[in-house]
Amino acid sequence: MSSTRFGWRVWVVFAALAVLPAFPFMTGYRLNLAFDALLFGIVAMGLDLLMGYTGLVSFGHAAFLGLGAYSTAILLERGVRSLWLCLLVAIVVVGLYALVVGYFATTRRGIYFALLTLIFAEVVYTFFRYTMTFGGSDGIQGLEAAWVLPAVPASAIDSPLKNYYTVLVLLLLAYVACRVLTDSHFGRVLIAIRENEDRARFLGYNVRRYKMGVCVISALLTGVAGALYPVRLANATPDLLLWTVSGEAIVMVMIGGIGTLVGPVIGGAFFIVLQEEVSTYAPKIYQAVGLSADKGVGLHFLIIGVILVLIVLFMPKGLLGAVRAVGLRRPRSMAPAPAGGSE
């Protein structure tokens, strides 16, 4: 299905998100939850460029997220509070790292590509986990707020509302950039590589160069999202670099709708909200089944796992695919009658 068919609906959703904080139920807690949902929606959308459009699976995307977060955290810790400078440094750091990873990983295909990205990510995780200069296992804590305008305290991003609109603007820019990219000749070549890499190479395309390019672009989207993480949480820890975060990003893409851009955003938001809601109601669930909170931790993850498995089994095209299927399913009585009045 063409991307333009649902294009106007995307802008309606962005407009709805823009006015969402005006509703009374959007408390500071829910604004923070919405920030996390949109932030990981950006991460999932960036990963979808690799998975959905190029056919490459990355197990090391957490490294891009963590490097972006640490870039901002290190600057804020040293008194550099300009948001734009933080984003610029994150782009440079993540971009250079992505070039190195892409250079080596694109020499292999399939699972070997995925494993190489994982190996690089584990090296980065180990470095930050055991380097006390950057806080070791505790990471960098207690950061000051970033400023949109240099040396203007009033422009500090220091409230849930400001955090929300900052990530919403970033999501909008990321979506426009990804949509332009996928609709361009570059995006069509990526799809050709996904469908048949050997044929794309036979047609004269430098497949490795295209794969390296999309690796860097995907990494930059994730890194910029990571750069915003310490702006709200006021910290950056090695937990962001864990391989499980990469796995969660892959799940977000799959449950949202691979190869759609919008679907992974929905999947990312759904996954974050699902985790939060299950953890919120977990104590009541533990009590109902006669378990203490410490013994019911496994049940907490079991509930999330069962829900995700059901989505994968019964919604093979993801949440977005299910929404589209419902929208396209029109009642027979409402279908236009053919010419002549007979069916």
Is there a domain that residue 24 lies in?
yes
pLDDT in tens, 194-209: 999 999 999 999 999 9
Is there a domain that residue 273 lies in?
no
Ordered alpha helix ranges (H), 149-206: 160-183, 185-195, 197-202
Question: To which residue do tokens 């977060």 refer?
Answer: 69
Per the structure, the count of domains in the chain is 1
Region for 14 from its dihedrals, namely left if φ exceeds 0, alpha if ψ lies in -120 to 50, beta otherwise: alpha
Is there a domain that residue 32 lies in?
yes
Residue 315: band (very low, low, confident or very high) from pLDDT cuts 50, 70, 90: confident
Token digits of residue 136: 């070791």
**pLDDT reported for residue 306:** 86
Residue 129 has pLDDT above 90, yes or no: yes
Is there a domain that residue 64 lies in?
yes
Domain that holds residue 116: 3-243
**pLDDT reported for residue 5:** 47
pLDDT in tens, 38-89: 999 999 999 999 999 999 999 999 999 999 999 999 999 999 999 999 999 9
Beta bridge partners of 147: 82, 156
pLDDT in tens, 147-182: 998 777 788 898 999 999 999 999 999 999 999 999
Of 192, 253, 178, 223, the C-alpha closest to 54 is: 192
Is there a domain that residue 77 lies in?
yes
**pLDDT reported for residue 226:** 96
Is there a domain that residue 16 lies in?
yes
Is there a domain that residue 271 lies in?
no
The DSSP-derived string for 39-106 is HHHHHHHHHHHHHHHH----S-HHHHHHHHHHHHHHHHHTT--BHHHHHHHHHHHHHHHHHHHHHHHT
CB 238 within 8 A of CB 125: yes
Poorest-pLDDT segment among 232-236, 292-296, 339-343: 339-343
Helices 262-288, 160-183: axis angle to 10 degrees equals 140
Q: How much of the chain, in percent, has pLDDT values that exceed 90? A: 70
> How much is the average pLDDT of 280-299?
65
pTM for this one? 0.88
Q: Rounded to whole angstroms, how far apart are CA atoms 254 and 259? A: 9
Is there a domain that residue 171 lies in?
yes
